[in-house]
């Protein structure tokens, strides 16, 4: 018996190196995949060269990331090297290049033939999207070489804006996890990271001119257990992001062609700031950083001139740290009860000739919009900003269903569709709620996310104002990275196809057949995800 085992061992050790064959059935699915009818394949071997033109830092970064992806995913090593010309002794396996003629900056063409693999993009960003497609096609089981069927993939995204919101205000998440979150976004072709980090429950962005905002405003005395049960954990909770850490995140995201959109939620959801500066509230306080969830009646005082001074100082530093064209100023869930009784707010309404408190919020928005427009920035607000009338350059993020977004698009305002009916991934994703980590409630399965049509009920002309869709991960009940990733996946797969594919190319059953391959990659990368798909 020992002799038999020895023979088997020798056979196994001397076996021909395995070859893995890839499939281009990835998520999101490319627009056009033309396979060679003869079934020919190109064999990519370990140690192959990835080349690109020298003098382009973004392309050098792309090549390096491709090498990192393949090594991490499949233990398959390729070598980035600029300006390599193919020879018989040293064939160039993967070539990254520019020059694709397409007005969509994210367009790319991925070609596999006897000469090797070529990814050509309209820009470096397009090349990166092609790299992610190649990465997912190769998957996790590369072995010693990979057989890639000859193919021509021609691809570009449907929407220019493909967003994901992550709430790091209710609960703080480490910088390293934020980077992992960005990696997952890049894997799915998402390009806007909406970073929500100021709230009633904590102020988590460092403002150097007002250090007390994070010293005091980032800390709550304790946190409610469950859904506002009145029972608390008795543990002080805090954490914030320094400006240096924020710059680090911006740089990390930029290499993956993701724009970071910071949100300073105003004039509501401001107890973190009011705790530090009670004079900015209508009652004068005192105010505590909230230890429960929900909507506070206490908001910034619209009639106090110091309010705008405060907000402009904050936005000055936000704009200095974040190069994003877009800055989010919230505007949601801001009760006006205090304004109705506040002498300063009522005096401001009289001064401006306003008849409704909603117009006070518009007054603040317009002041900030003009201020930030001078800095070359555009402001985004939740759909409540519609209530007092929109300014010309306003961008509306529709969350209370799609009606607000439809109304804004019909008025020819730019819109990001993020309806809670399809995009709130803090809801449960399986009917069996007891078998899942605790959530805020509701039921949003993968199939419902996939069914979103962002331009529904709009004319062809009105649909042009839809920048794209976004999913939102709110974190009242999500406190740890593993839970956050579980809530994100695989619903991010679903929204990625909504964001990327033309509506007539979506097919949920075909999509489901492609999910297991993505889940293999999640397993390899150590990502927690929901195994059920409903």
Q: Identify the band that residue 13 occupies on the pLDDT scale cut at 50, 70 and 90.
A: very low
Share of the chain above pLDDT 70, in %: 95
Cα of first residue to Cα of last residue in the chain, in angstroms, is 50
pLDDT digits (tens, 9 = 90+) for 417-473: 999 999 999 999 999 999 899 999 999 999 999 999 999 999 999 999 999 999 999
DSSP 257-269: T-EEEEE---SSS
- Does residue 11 register a pLDDT over 60? no
Kindly tell me if the per-residue pLDDT of 113 is higher than 90. yes
Can you give the pLDDT at residue 385?
85
Reply yes or no on whether the pLDDT at 89 is more than 90. Answer: no
Q: Provide the residue ranges of all domains of the chain, joining segments of one domain with +.
A: 16-155, 163-525
pLDDT given for residue 16 in this prediction:
40
Contact criterion met (CB below 8 Å) for 263 and 169? no
pLDDT band of 19, cuts 50, 70, 90: low
CATH of the structural domain 16-155, one choice from 3.40.50.10490, 3.40.30.10, 3.30.379.10, 3.90.1200.10: 3.30.379.10
What CATH fold (topology level) applies to the domain 163-525?
Answer: TIM Barrel (3.20.20)
The C-alpha atoms of residue 490 and residue 518 are separated, in whole angstroms, by 9
Tokens representing residue 27 in the block:
């998520």
User: What pLDDT score does 90 carry?
Assistant: 66
Q: Comparing 12-16, 336-340, 395-399, which segment has the lowest mean pLDDT?
A: 12-16
Chain-centre distance of CA 138, in angstroms?
24
- Taking only the tens place, the pLDDT of each residue in 46-82 is 999 999 999 999 999 999 999 999 999 999 999 999 9
Task: Check residue 218 and give its pLDDT.
Answer: 98
Q: Six-digit token pair at 181?
A: 């979150």
State mean pLDDT over 506-519.
Answer: 97
Nearest to 184 by CA among 529, 532, 531: 529
Are 285 and 336 a contacting pair, CB within 8 Å?
no
Q: Residue 126: CA atoms inside 13 Å, Cβ hemisphere, count?
A: 25
So what's the pLDDT on residue 86? 76
Confidence check: pLDDT of 103 > 70: yes
Q: Is the pLDDT of residue 3 over 80?
A: no
At 18 the pLDDT is 53
């Amino acid at each position: 018996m020992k002799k038999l085992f020895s023979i088997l061992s020798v056979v196994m050790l001397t076996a021909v190196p395995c070859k893995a064959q890839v499939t281009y059935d990835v998520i999101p699915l490319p627009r056009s995949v033309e396979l060679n009818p003869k079934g020919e394949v190109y064999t990519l071997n370990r140690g192959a060269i990835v080349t690109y033109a020298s003098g382009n830092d973004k392309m050098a970064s792309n090549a390096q990331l491709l090498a990192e992806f393949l090594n991490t995913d499949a233990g398959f090593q390729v070598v980035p090297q600029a300006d390599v010309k193919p020879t018989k002794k040293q064939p160039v396996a993967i070539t990254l290049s520019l020059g694709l003629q397409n007005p969509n900056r994210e367009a790319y063409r991925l070609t596999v033939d006897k000469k090797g693999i070529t990814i050509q993009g309209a820009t470096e960003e397009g090349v990166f999207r092609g790299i992610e497609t190649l990465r997912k096609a190769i998957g996790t089981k590369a072995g010693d070489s990979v057989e890639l069927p000859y193919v021509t993939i021609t691809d570009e995204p449907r929407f220019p804006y493909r967003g994901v919101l992550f709430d790091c205000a209710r609960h703080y998440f480490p910088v390293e996890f934020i980077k992992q979150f960005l990696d997952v976004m890049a894997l799915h072709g998402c390009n806007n990271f909406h970073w929500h980090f100021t709230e009633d429950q904590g102020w988590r962005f460092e403002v150097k001119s007002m250090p007390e905002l994070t010293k005091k405003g980032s800390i709550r005395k304790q946190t409610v257990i469950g859904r506002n049960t009145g029972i608390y954990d008795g543990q002080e909770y805090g954490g914030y992001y320094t400006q240096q850490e924020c710059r680090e995140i911006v740089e990390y995201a930029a290499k993956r062609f993701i724009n970071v959109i910071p949100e300073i939620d105003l004039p509501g959801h401001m107890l973190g700031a009011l705790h530090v500066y009670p004079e900015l509230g209508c009652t004068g306080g005192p105010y505590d950083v909230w230890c429960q969830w929900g909507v506070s009646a206490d908001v910034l005082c619209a009639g106090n001139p110091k309010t705008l001074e405060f907000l402009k100082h904050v936005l000055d530093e936000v704009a200095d740290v974040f190069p994003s064209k877009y800055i989010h100023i919230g505007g949601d869930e801001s009760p006006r009860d205090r304004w109705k009784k506040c002498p300063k707010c009522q005096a401001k309404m009289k001064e401006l000739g306003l008849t409704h408190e909603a117009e006070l919020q518009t007054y603040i928005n317009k002041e900030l919009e003009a201020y930030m427009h001078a800095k070359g920035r555009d402001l985004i607000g939740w759909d409540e900003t519609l209530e007092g009338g929109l300014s010309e350059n306003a961008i509306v993020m529709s969350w209370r269903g799609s009606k607000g977004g439809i109304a804004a698009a019909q008025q020819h305002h730019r819109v990001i569709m993020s309806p809670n009916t399809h995009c709130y991934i803090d809801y449960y994703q399986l009917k069996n709620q007891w078998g899942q980590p605790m959530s805020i409630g509701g039921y949003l399965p993968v199939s419902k996310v996939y069914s979103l049509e962002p331009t529904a009920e709009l004319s062809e002309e009105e649909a042009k104002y839809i920048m794209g869709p976004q999913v939102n991960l709110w974190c009242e009940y999500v406190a740890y990275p593993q839970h956050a990733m579980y809530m994100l996946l695989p619903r991010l797969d679903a929204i990625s196809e909504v964001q990327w594919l033309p509506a007539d190319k979506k097919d949920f059953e075909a999509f489901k057949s492609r999910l297991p391959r993505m889940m293999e990659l999640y397993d390899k990368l150590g990502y927690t995800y929901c195994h059920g798909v409903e």
